Amino acid sequence: MQPIQLVFLFAAALILWAAFMMVTRSNLVHAALFLIVALFGVAVFFVLLEAGFLAVLQVLVYIGAIAILMIFAVMLTRGDVIEEEIVNRGFGWALMLAALFCFGLIILVGQWPGVNEAAPRIVESRDLIQELGVQMFAPEGYVLPVEVASVLLLGAIIGALVVARPQKKEK
Amino acid sequence: MNFWENPIGFIGEAIADLMRSLHIGPEVINFVITLLSVVVVASFGLLLVIFLIWLERKVAARFQDRIGPNRAGPYGLLQTFADMVKLITKEDSIPEKADKLSFNIAPILSVVAVLLIWAVVPFAPAWIGTDLNVGVLYIAAVGSFGILSILMAGWSSNNKYALLGAFRAVAQLISYEVPMLITLLVPVLLARSMGMNDMVRDQSTWFIVLAPLAGIIFLVSSIAEIGRTPFDLIEAESEIVAGYHTEYTGMKFGLFFAAEFLHAFTVGVLFALLFLGGWRGPGAEQYQLLGVFYLMAKASIGYFIVMWVRSTLPRIRIDHMLALNWKFLTPASLAILIITAILEKAYGETSARIPALLIGNLAVVLVSWLVLRAASRKTKRERVTFKKRPVAKPA
Amino acid sequence: MIDRWLFIGIFVSIAAVFPLLPIVLARFLAPHNPNTIKLETYECGMETVGPTWVQFKIQYYIYALVFLIFDIETVFLFPWAVAFDAIPLFAVFEGVLFILILVGGLLYAWRKGALEWS
């Protein structure tokens, strides 16, 4: 077994463990912290796939921004919710549905011919990110989706502010 | 390879040769060499802290017309060691209501977050921990572990002041990360690369000349990121005891302390790398140690400015702090980014590059000054008036 | 390339061990005699009143939201800056347009008073 496979197995185990811990915690902040561990494991995956840029984005955006936002959201709720036992009546159904999806995905991916081929080795360098930039912004590339993404983010900021802004007090 | 030109490379090569003669596989040799270089870089960072704490205390003392530490060792150089012994032998008390695991992980995470930045710092042309092609973004990304450690410390202490301090800290850090990221884009744009060594190699003219405004905004937002005065609302002792590390004692408090000092100097290093040409200087390409010397000397400039500002300015109010970020630094950094991008495309290859970018920067300064002046005229200041009171007059 | 990340991987573990050492050392050297009063929440000598979990201002959350949007937007621009030589003038203006849409978001937040600390 190659060392890189060991790292992969370790990261996979870490993600599964953290994800399991996350959904079973009754303390919401603990759940958020475990989510961060799982997200970090995904960043390790990106590194193993030689996608350093995505790994860094994963940490910067998911751990640095989204997870923080989640903890803030938890803190804004009332604290007394937290210690209560969480009982979900749909637990059995959820488990079955999740198992179904999981096996379905395994079967679907197993039928894909590329699953047993080794991925082509990417020589990552300064040029790779440059290539990404060209693809994203060149007219023959993906410039329209990128601009639409920017409009989407504008929509997100407006929507978020409309929802989250406290009601103005009547004078 | 000459020893004096590249001592660390020389020793590393010697160790690799020794292992090769013992018939150790190349992968193992690679691993061991990497491990050794990690230990060298990480311990350099941590040993630096010991010196930095002494230096900062000395400089702060001079600003306040004092002598500073002068008892332990020559010039008080051993003061930090004495402090360390004290911190290690202090009782480490964990409050009963604290969340034990997060409480213990948080100080370690805060040190790790700062130390990780040093992995991509090019000390000299050939001395860089690892030259990632996403170096600049990596630096921004590991910063988020620092934010996380503060949030964990504040929440797990189960103390109102600690939690309040953590919230203030996180609001400040994430706010100031916006202008910092945008100003990081400017050197990336000028160097066409995110790799830290590419960045330094590209600075035949220092980027502070090409983008002075971006440099200043970067430094200001970095000072906010390390929570130094005037942005030290994080640990405003008159309002929230000691902020997020209120409940920490002994060495765990010491770790937060060390991380903060190291972060302050790291900001100086980053400023030197991104705007002052890093290790560049006469003879640095050949003699690696000279490169380290130049980098440290340039980093001291940024570090000195941080200490200078700290000794000069009072703490600002939280609404002012956030307004400065969102209503001034962020728009200004976006403006400078747009101006730099357009001018760089137009004049990037010509000899007019430097004057064009300088004029662009000046224009942004002028416009923002005019806007600020107009805004300050518009804001009505509330006059503090008192009722007329009878005054005792001499008969 | 993976070799370069190997360095980071080792660095993370070493960087975690270094600060752990003094804590472990302190465990052996430092005295340890806790008592009830010592382990209480520290509020400068006052006794704690009520739960720690006080309700926070929604303002913190709004700043985090605005930060998140800006974070993602700037991250999009990094490949643009790296590829600056390889893209035509048109694409440069695409990037500028991208920034201007971002500025629109900032202006909206500003006008709506989301940036005020009230």
Chain B residue at shortest CA distance from A57: B141
Whether residue B385 lies inside any domain: the answer is no
Which other chains touch chain B, taking contact as 3+ CB pairs less than 8 Å apart?
A: A, C
Whether residue A102 lies inside any domain: the answer is no
Whether residue A103 lies inside any domain: the answer is no
Over range B183-208, report the average pLDDT.
87
Q: Which residue has the higher pLDDT, C42 or A62?
A: A62
Q: Are A129 and B194 in contact (CB under 8 A)?
A: yes
Considering the domain architecture, whether residues A68 and A143 belong to the same structural domain is answered as no
Which other chains touch chain C, taking contact as 3+ CB pairs less than 8 Å apart?
A: A, B
Encode pLDDT of A73-103 as tens digits.
887 776 555 555 566 677 788 889 989 998 9
Q: Which two tokens stand for residue B370?
A: 């005019």
C-alpha torsion sign, points B119, B120, B123, B124 = positive
Residue B328 is given by DSSP the state I
Considering the domain architecture, whether residues B271 and B258 belong to the same structural domain is answered as yes
Encode pLDDT of B338-350 as tens digits.
988 888 888 877 7
Residue B122 is given by DSSP the state E
Q: Which of B89, B118, B139 is the last residue before a domain boundary? A: B89
Over range A36-58, report the average pLDDT.
89
Question: Phi and psi for C83 in degrees, rounded to 5?
Answer: -90, 20
Looking at the structure of chain A, the number of domains it has is 2
Q: Are B175 and B333 in contact (CB under 8 A)?
A: no
Lowest mean pLDDT among A88-97, B228-237, B312-321, B335-344: B228-237
Q: Indicate the residue of A3, A56, A63 with minimum beta-carbon distance to B137.
A: A56
Lowest mean pLDDT among B156-160, B323-327, B376-380: B376-380
Q: Which of residues 71-100 of A touch C (CB under 8 A)?
A: 72-73, 75-76, 78-80
Residue B235 is given by DSSP the state G
B237, B242, C54 from C43: Cα distances, Å: 12, 10, 15
Residue B1: pLDDT band (50, 70, 90) is low
Chain A residues with CB-CB distance to C88 below 8 A: 138-139
Residue B29's H or E segment, with its range, is: helix B26-63
Encode pLDDT of C80-108 as tens digits.
888 888 888 888 888 888 888 888 888 88
Q: Residue A38: its pLDDT value, please?
A: 93
Considering the domain architecture, whether residues A66 and A144 belong to the same structural domain is answered as no
Residue A171: pLDDT band (50, 70, 90) is very low
Contact criterion met (CB < 8 Å) for C83 and A132: yes
Q: Which residues contact B274 (CB under 8 A, 6 or more apart)?
A: B136, B184, B187, B199, B207, B215, B218
Q: Which residue has the higher pLDDT, B76 or B222?
A: B222
Q: What percentage of chain B exceeds 70 in pLDDT?
A: 97
Whether residue A146 lies inside any domain: the answer is yes
Lowest mean pLDDT among A123-132, B12-21, B256-265, B351-360: A123-132
Q: Which of B70, B89, B108 is the last residue before a domain boundary? A: B89
Q: Which residues contact A149 (CB under 8 A, 6 or more apart)?
A: C76
Q: Indicate the residue of B102, B192, B198 with minimum beta-carbon distance to A33.
A: B102
B166, B170, B258 from B251: Cα distances, Å: 20, 23, 10
Q: Residue B391: its pLDDT value, please?
A: 78
What is residue B42's three-state secondary structure?
Answer: helix
Q: Are B67 and B113 in contact (CB under 8 A)?
A: no
Chain A residue at shortest CA distance from B31: A3
Over range B11-34, report the average pLDDT.
81
Q: Which two tokens stand for residue A170?
A: 């009547």
**How far apart are the C-alpha atoms of B310 and B385, rounded to whole Å?**
33
Amino acid identity of A153?
Answer: L
Q: Is the pLDDT of residue A7 over 80?
A: yes
Encode pLDDT of B272-286 as tens digits.
999 988 888 887 777
Q: What percentage of chain B exceeds 90 in pLDDT?
A: 9
B192, B320, B322, B372, C65 from C109: Cα distances, Å: 32, 17, 13, 19, 11
Chain C residues with CB-CB distance to A148 below 8 A: none
Considering the domain architecture, whether residues A146 and A73 belong to the same structural domain is answered as no
Q: Which two tokens stand for residue C46?
A: 């006052």
Q: Which residue has the higher pLDDT, B188 or B95?
A: B188
Give B122's strand partners. B128
CATH classification at residue A58: 1.20.120.1200
Q: Residue B89: its pLDDT value, please?
A: 85
Whether residue A162 lies inside any domain: the answer is yes
Task: Report chain A's mean pLDDT, rounded to a whole number.
Answer: 81
pLDDT in tens, chain C (118 residues): 677 888 888 888 888 888 888 888 888 887 878 777 777 777 666 667 666 666 677 778 888 888 888 888 888 888 888 888 888 888 888 888 888 888 888 888 888 777 777 6
Query: How many CA atoms, within 13 angstroms, populate the side-chain half-sphere of residue B267?
Result: 27
The residue among B85, B84, B67 whose CA lies nearest residue B76 is B67
Chain B residues with CB-CB distance to C19 below 8 A: 107-108, 111-112, 255, 258
Residue A39: pLDDT band (50, 70, 90) is very high
Q: Residue A170: its pLDDT value, please?
A: 42
Q: Pinpoint the alpha helices (H) of A58-168.
A: 67-76, 91-111, 126-137, 143-164
Encode pLDDT of A143-164 as tens digits.
888 888 888 888 888 888 887 7
Q: Residue B210: its pLDDT value, please?
A: 87
Question: Phi and psi for B124 in degrees, rounded to 5?
Answer: -155, 170
Q: Which stretches of chain A sit within 8 Å of chain B by CB?
A: 3, 29-30, 33, 36, 52-53, 56-57, 59-60, 63-65, 67-68, 71-72, 75, 124-126, 128-130
Encode pLDDT of B128-162 as tens digits.
878 888 889 999 999 889 888 988 888 888 887 88
Q: Are C32 and A135 in contact (CB under 8 A)?
A: no
The full DSSP string for A17-73 is HHHHHHHH-SSHHHHHHHHHHHHHHHHHHHHHTT-HHHHHHIIIIIIIIIHHHHHHH
Encode pLDDT of B104-119 as tens digits.
889 999 999 999 999 8
Q: Residue A42: its pLDDT value, please?
A: 92
Cα torsion through B196, B201, B206, B208, rounded to 10: -20
Range of the domain at A15: 1-84
Over range A111-134, report the average pLDDT.
72
- Which candidate in B29, B99, B148 is best for mutational testing of the A interface (most A CBs within 10 A)? B148
Chain A residues with CB-CB distance to B152 below 8 A: 33
> What pTM, to 2 d.p., does this model score?
0.87
**How far apart are the C-alpha atoms of B313 and C80, rounded to whole Å?**
38
Chain A residues with CB-CB distance to C94 below 8 A: 137, 143, 146-147
Q: Residue A97: its pLDDT value, please?
A: 92
Considering the domain architecture, whether residues B136 and B278 belong to the same structural domain is answered as yes
> What is the number of residues in chain B?
395
The residue among B260, B295, B269, B296 whose CA lies nearest residue B280 is B295
Q: Which of B73, B89, B105 is the last residue before a domain boundary? A: B89
Residue A119: pLDDT band (50, 70, 90) is low
Task: Report chain B's mean pLDDT, rounded to a whole number.
Answer: 85
Considering the domain architecture, whether residues B173 and B125 belong to the same structural domain is answered as yes
Considering the domain architecture, whether residues A21 and A77 belong to the same structural domain is answered as yes
Q: Residue A82: its pLDDT value, please?
A: 52
Rounded to whole angstroms, the maximal C-alpha distance in chain C is 70
The residue among A163, A51, C42 whose CA lies nearest residue B244 is C42
- Please write down the long-range contacts of B286-290, taking CB distance under 8 Å and 24 or more positions apart: B286/B5, B287/B4, B287/B5, B288/B5, B288/B6, B288/B7, B288/B8, B288/B9, B288/B123, B288/B124, B288/B125, B288/B126, B288/B127, B289/B4, B289/B7, B289/B124, B290/B124
Q: Which two tokens stand for residue B395?
A: 């008969």
Contact criterion met (CB < 8 Å) for B144 and A129: no
Encode pLDDT of B235-273 as tens digits.
766 666 677 887 788 888 888 888 888 998 999 999 999
Q: Is the pLDDT of residue A168 over 60?
A: no
Give B127's strand partners. B124
Q: How far away is chain B from the Cα of A60, in angstroms, using its nearest Cα?
A: 4
Question: Phi and psi for B73 in degrees, rounded to 5?
Answer: 75, 175
Looking at the structure of chain B, the number of domains it has is 2
- Which candidate in A5, A6, A7, A59 is best for mutational testing of the B interface (most B CBs within 10 A)? A59
Give B124's strand partners. B127
Query: How many CA atoms, within 13 angstroms, populate the side-chain half-sphere of residue A152?
Result: 8
Residue B124's H or E segment, with its range, is: strand B122-124
> What is the number of residues in chain C?
118
Q: Domain C2-111 - what CATH class?
A: mainly alpha
Q: Indicate the residue of A61, A75, A138 with minimum beta-carbon distance to C75.
A: A61
Q: Residue C55: its pLDDT value, please?
A: 67
Range of the domain at B105: 94-372
Q: Residue A17: its pLDDT value, please?
A: 93
A4, A43, A45, B71, B249 from A49: Cα distances, Å: 10, 10, 6, 55, 42
Q: Residue B6: its pLDDT value, please?
A: 77
Q: Which two tokens stand for residue C80?
A: 């643009």
Whether residue B393 lies inside any domain: the answer is no
Q: Which two tokens stand for residue B118?
A: 């040093």
